[in-house]
Amino acid sequence: MTSVLKLSNFIDGKFEQSASFIDGFDPSTGEVWTRIPDSGSNEVSRAVDAAKAAFPGWSATPVQQRSQIMLKIADILELRLEEFAEMESRDQGKPVWLARTVEIPRAVYNFRFFATSVLHELNRSTVMDAACAINYTVKQPVGVAGLISPWNLPLYLLTFKIAPAIAFGNTVVAKPSEMTSLTAFKLCEIFNQAGLPPGVVNLVFGVGPRAGDAIVRHPDVPLISFTGGTLTATKIREATSEMCKKFSLELGGKNPAVIFSDADLEKCVATTIRSSFVNQGEICLCTSRVYVQRDIFQDFLGKFLTETRKLVVGDPKQQDTFMGPLISKAHLEKVRGYVDIARSEGATVLCGIEPLELPEEKKNGYFMRPTVITGVDDDSRLIQEEIFGPVVCIVPFDTEEEVIRRANGVKYGLCATLWTQNASRLHRVAHKLQVGTVWVNCWLVRDLNMPFGGTKESGIGRESARDSLEFFTEEKTICVKF
Ligand code: NDP
């Protein structure tokens, strides 16, 4: 029996006890291990008031001082990396090694990156010689930013919103997913230790339809940065349709890998396995449709299956575990449901449904093997819908035109991977894929200075040093006659 951790909201620099809670589950055991405040509009209103009160002071704080506080946040978080990695793994299910090597270091980097990039921003100016006037711009923070983040990369995605928001002088009311709130709660201790003034960042925990909805509807929250599902984004836009809010929406994906017969097969198989199954396939950028040119299809499939069957699924604490449990029982059932659909449609499930041998204490965890399916039609729900789990469909193709059409034949447009050694073809195809990012002969290699975001129903807006500046500030033009 594990002890249960009770979280509290963080408003105006203080931890506030809550009257009601919801359960947070350890996905590897199915046991309750955290109790999360079940916040609603009252808590959100107090958080917005605190953020509003902190805004004049924080936005007028010299940028070097804001930067120093953020660098201190990064330093303290880095010192506590191991502790945060263990918490993140326990809360979300990813292996500890993945949290230790990718997610928490990236959260540290988010603070460092925006703390330093903000120091180098310049304004625009022009001299109108005929009118004897100078025009110049100033970029001003917008106000209270409402930040809503999902459960799949909890600290990484939350800090990718908090860091630019406060670097550019905004104050924040944030809500992480109720399924993964622990590291966000612990981060609030670091905010206080680093000397972040009270009210600059406020964390309100709870479920989306109550706490999240109260943030997006609040009239004093003029900008919303949301990462999550496309359906939730639709609800948020409907809820705010009569208000003029600024939105950044990073949404779902159905990302193709397009593999031509001249691909470096060893690299391609290894990377496509990682892009399909890392973090249990619960990354918006994970590959879920693999198109392989027909003359190498069987070769690719054989190698892919051999390597996939070697992946260890189990205890997230073990160093050799590649995949931990899925986030929740409901999500596991949803993902397994897609495998049932595949079988009912006559597709072939090549691996993934064999029983797992788990230790006694993990028997109620939400584990599932990496699953590979072939023989799926283009209009199947498996090809069209975001599954967000360790399920990948592998499909043969013949020509370049055909694969571009099929890769583009879904409502999403987040990212794609493309495998070919032919320089002309890689540029030609990359230009035609309807996605925000194309990785060629690699995956997940991107400089934070470059724009990130989706096309079609995968989102609105881009994130990068420059794009976040655009989003979290408003540019004003001042025209002065000599
Ligand atoms: P959801 O859309 O279910 O939830 C995202 C966040 O929104 C959570 O904090 C949730 O709260 C909150 N929320 C839910 N309903 C509302 C509402 N009515 N008003 C305001 N907030 C609400 O997504 P998931 O958490 O399930 O995350 C998975 C999704 O996120 C996938 O579609 C994935 O592709 C996408 N994603 C996109 C990324 C990108 O950069 N494009 C990156 C990572 C994920 P709660 O969960 O507490 O109810």
- Token pair of 110 as six digits: 């988010």
pLDDT along the chain (482 residues), means of 10: 88 96 97 97 98 98 98 98 98 98 97 96 92 94 98 97 98 97 98 98 98 98 97 95 94 98 98 98 98 98 98 97 98 98 98 93 97 98 98 98 98 98 98 98 93 95 85 96 92
User: Quick one: pLDDT at residue 464?
Assistant: 80
User: Quick one: pLDDT at residue 466?
Assistant: 80
Q: How far is the C-alpha of 482 from the C-alpha of 300, rounded, in Å?
A: 70
Q: Is 392 in the pocket of ligand 1 (CB under 6 A)?
A: no
* pTM assigned to the model: 0.96
**Protein residue with its CA nearest to atom 14 in ligand 1:** 208
- Token pair of 422 as six digits: 């032919």
**Closest ligand 1 atom to the C-alpha of 252?**
34
Q: Is 232 in the pocket of ligand 1 (CB under 6 A)?
A: yes
Using CA atoms of 467, 468, 473, 476 in order, give the dihedral in degrees to the nearest 10: -20
Q: Is 414 in the pocket of ligand 1 (CB under 6 A)?
A: yes
Pick from 177, 226, 412 the residue to mutate for probing ligand 1's pocket: most ligand atoms within 8 Å of its CB: 177
**Protein residue with its CA nearest to atom 10 in ligand 1:** 208
Q: Which residue has the tokens 């500046």?
A: 469
**Protein residue with its CA nearest to atom 43 in ligand 1:** 284
Measured CA distances, 275 to 105, 166, 256, 436 (Å): 19, 32, 10, 17
- Token pair of 293 as six digits: 């040119």
Instruction: Return all residues near 110 (Cβ < 8 A) that are at least 6 apart.
Output: 156, 159, 160, 162, 163
**Closest ligand 1 atom to the C-alpha of 253?**
34
Pick from 284, 287, 288 the residue to mutate for probing ligand 1's pocket: most ligand atoms within 8 Å of its CB: 284
Task: Tabulate helix, strand, coil % of the chain (nearest 5).
Answer: 40, 25, 35
Q: Are 97 and 278 in contact (CB under 8 A)?
A: no
Of the CA atoms within 13 Å of residue 453, those in its CB half-sphere come to: 22
Pick from 22, 227, 435, 452 the residue to mutate for probing ligand 1's pocket: most ligand atoms within 8 Å of its CB: 227
- Token pair of 222 as six digits: 């003029």
Q: How far is the C-alpha of 30 from the C-alpha of 116, rounded, in Å?
A: 41
Ligand 1 centroid to 399 CA: how many Å? 36
Pick from 151, 156, 237 the residue to mutate for probing ligand 1's pocket: most ligand atoms within 8 Å of its CB: 151
User: Quick one: pLDDT at residue 2?
Assistant: 66
Q: Is 280 in the pocket of ligand 1 (CB under 6 A)?
A: no
Map residue 9 onto helix, strand or coil. strand
Ligand 1 centroid to 216 CA: how many Å? 13
Q: Any idea which residues carry the catalytic annotation?
A: 250, 284
User: Quick one: pLDDT at residue 1?
Assistant: 54
Of the CA atoms within 13 Å of residue 122, those in its CB half-sphere come to: 2
Q: Is 228 in the pocket of ligand 1 (CB under 6 A)?
A: yes
**Closest ligand 1 atom to the C-alpha of 228?**
30
Ligand 1 centroid to 237 CA: how many Å? 14
Q: Is 281 in the pocket of ligand 1 (CB under 6 A)?
A: no
Q: Is 251 in the pocket of ligand 1 (CB under 6 A)?
A: yes
- Token pair of 392 as six digits: 């990948």
Beta strands in 176-284, from DSSP E residues, in sequence order: 201-203, 223-227, 246-250, 255-259
**Protein residue with its CA nearest to atom 39 in ligand 1:** 250
Ligand 1 centroid to 365 CA: how many Å? 22
- Token pair of 98 as six digits: 């993945």
Q: Is 27 in the pocket of ligand 1 (CB under 6 A)?
A: no
Ligand 1 centroid to 177 CA: how many Å? 7
Q: Is 250 in the pocket of ligand 1 (CB under 6 A)?
A: yes
- Token pair of 303 as six digits: 């190698």
Map residue 193 onto helix, strand or coil. helix
User: Quick one: pLDDT at residue 40?
Assistant: 97
Q: Is 213 in the pocket of ligand 1 (CB under 6 A)?
A: yes
Largest Cα separation within the chain, whole Å, is: 82
Q: Is 389 in the pocket of ligand 1 (CB under 6 A)?
A: no
User: Quick one: pLDDT at residue 130?
Assistant: 87
